[in-house]
Amino acid sequence: MKEVELYTDGACSGNPGPGGWAFILRCLKTGKELQKADGMAETTNNQMELMAVIRGLETLKEPCQVTLFADSTYVGQGLTQWMANWKRNNWTRKVKGRPQELKNAALWKRLDELTQTHRLTFTHVKGHAGHIENERCDELAVAACQRFMKR
């Protein structure tokens, strides 16, 4: 199984507001690297963080061992702690003891589908702390966000 590293970040100006996502995908065997970014006119930071991971995983043409590097605790905790319960509870979560529709459920469902194809390991990186790939993803996501800002 091919081993790859996936670095991701999302950005948003306002929450909600215009947003951008970016990823860097690197094959460990060949060293080949792909960078992509895009955005939306009206979105949230969490949605852009999820889109970065989704678009990166969707780029892979075969099942891979993926080490995901992201500064989003929302994505990290969702993948490692919350998703199993959300699935078990039909993509809902309890609020004051009552089931409530999960925010960003469609994105989490898509991410769940992708994690069934790939073996994913999440690694949290501190944002804006000099991590080269995280800083580059931030630059790309912010630039993508700016393309959607009204002038």
DSSP structure string for 71-108 = S-HHHHHIIIIIHHHHHHTTSEEEETTEEEEPTTHHHH
| pLDDT for position 130 | 86
CATH number, span 2-73+119-146: 3.30.420.10
By the 8 A CB rule, do 8 and 56 touch?
Answer: yes
* Residue 57 CB contacts under 8 Å (≥ 6 apart), including other chains: 6, 66, 111, 114, 115, 117, 118, 120
| pLDDT for position 63 | 97
For residue 60, give the 3-state DSSP assignment: coil
DSSP3 helix / strand / coil % (the chain, rounded to 5) = 40, 35, 25
Which residues are part of the catalytic machinery? Answer: 9-10, 49, 71, 128, 138
**pLDDT tens-digit series, residues 84-136:** 999 999 999 888 989 899 999 999 999 999 999 999 999 999 988 888 999 99
What global pTM score does this model have?
A: 0.95
Asked if pLDDT for residue 149 goes beyond 90, the answer is no
**pLDDT tens-digit series, residues 25-56:** 999 999 999 999 999 999 999 999 999 999 99
| pLDDT for position 66 | 98
